[in-house]
Structure 1
Amino acid sequence: MMEEDELCFPEFFNSSCRKLNLPHIEVILMHIVLYSISVITAFLNLLVIISISHFRQLHTTTNLLLLSLAISDFSVGLILLFQIVLIDGCWFLGDIMCTVYQYLAYVITSASIGTMVLISFDRYVAICYPLHYSTKITQGRVKICIFLCWISSWLFQSLILLDNLKQPGRYNSCVGECAFVISHIAGYVDLVFSFIVPIGVIVVLYLRVFVVAISQSRAMRSHISAAPLRHLVVAKKSQVKAAKTLGLVVLVFLLCMCPYYCVALSGEDSSMSASSAAFVICLFFFNSCLNPIIYAFFYPWFRKSIKLIFTLQIFQHGSCDINMQ
């Protein structure tokens, strides 16, 4: 017979789910880690959102893509709060909220991956076709691409998760469970179009980018002393530096996402230990916290904007026109 303290809802003795039998110190540690990641992720990405939105000089095509990524990462920080609720295996927020949480997690992840593809394409055109970049990659086109990326994520995940959306909680086996089940066919379709194809495109584009960037770096070193070419060299150096920085963002993204999707691809998630599963999930979410840290190290404009935000100078008249270089 089950003891009452093992049940999520003791009042539903015959239908309540059991709580996970985790050591108390492990539960406390997981709460601290996940809360920390959630707060830091939301806070840092909010700084990126405010910076790019407020300062007009930062309204570049590349930064619009970073803004889209920051919005998705900020949302991940908020979504992570729901993951904390599930630490002991009990869901207390009802079937509708369970569906909303899972659905948003799928959509945000899909939009993040789509934005990474757009960032890779942006760097590909900037490095491989620099003379056509300003005419091909315009703010209007970038905004349309971002809009289509998010809309496509919503529509695609709505089709994949249609059964769950129609009847929230239909797959719950007991009271207090937050189960989200998709068919094998839908799961493989999601895996292919949300991970394998986008990651393949990202890798191919960035391999091409770095091959061209290396050749450009060598060419710049050989022409650095030529005065008439200095302005062109500076422009190329800035593009190469941006490619390297965003390449690091993409690399970190792949390192954090791959373990999660590799588990899904192998179908071994059911045999994983609780600690291994927790590590994979934390790594998956932690990626959203790392991006603003990378910006802080490599983008002077982000460090300057943080200073202006913390000193409240952004509330001064005309602060949106401050030179961020």
Structure 2
Amino acid sequence: MNPDRWALLLGAVVLLVLPFTVSGYVLYIANLLMVFVVLSLGLHVVIGEAGQFALSHTAFYGIGIYTAGIINTAWHPPFLVSILAGGVLSAVLGYIIGLLALRMRDIYLALATFAFGEAMQWVFLNWESVTGGSNGMRMQPAELFGYKLTNDLQAYPFVVVIAGLMLWATVALSRSQYGASLRAVRESDVAAMAMGVDVKAMKQSAFAVSAAFAGIAGGMYTLFVSFIHPESLGFQTTILVLTMVVVGGIGSVRGAVAGAIVFGLISELLRQALSIQEIIYGVILMGFMMFKPRGLFADRSQRAPAAASSAQQPAVRRAAQ
């Protein structure tokens, strides 16, 4: 059996057994890891598949949280409605932000999207009538046809199922013609246009899909957490999710999932060291970008071309001489 399928089967068994063997804080961590998996998969779409270096992911995550939380509190619909609303709103804003990708590249795009993320955190902090501002916002329990989710155990099966569906959607996207078009844009805009790919549409749609994933992750978060503060949606979270994708392996679905689980656990271990978390993540991120840019879990199909390219470089230099 394929190693990926063995890993998927093992993960499914662990998730199935977990609620019968643990409780309380451990289930909260499991729920949080599922949220990180969806967040990481969303960033994988825009960075790993489309090659657009965006730093606005946490902003869309926050939009999803506040949208779902406000809708739950005001109208008490089935939580699927509020989660989808957060995903749709994030996707629309992501599509608009995608316009930047048509005019900017590389560091300029990163800075522009980072500025959007910081602007959204300012909105979360200062729009007190909607978000509660610096006092944070307390949310009502999510509901499904009158059934309220009041603890981590009740939310767990729904969080796991949503995360599983988002993983399936990511794999399907990666294997589809759409995914191939995104990767063509990642490699070269000019070459992609020569092959008939609508580069503008691909870039904007990648931002929209990525933002939708982040918005849905935000909605998932409201299923088991009753309070949100804007400080948890700042640059530290952006660096954490970026580290998950880069260290796991840019362009690798398995890398995005593994990175989310590993660094989600590390973030909990470092919870008592908030003042140095960003430094630790930054050092890890720089180290991997310098010495292992393809990450720990890059696809084998990505490693082979890289090895072949490295082997060919000396021969090319000798021929040139």
Q: Same fold (TM over 0.5)?
A: no
Larger Rg: 1
Which structure exhibits the higher relative contact order, with contacts defined as CA atoms closer than 8 Å and separated by 6 or more residues? Answer: 2
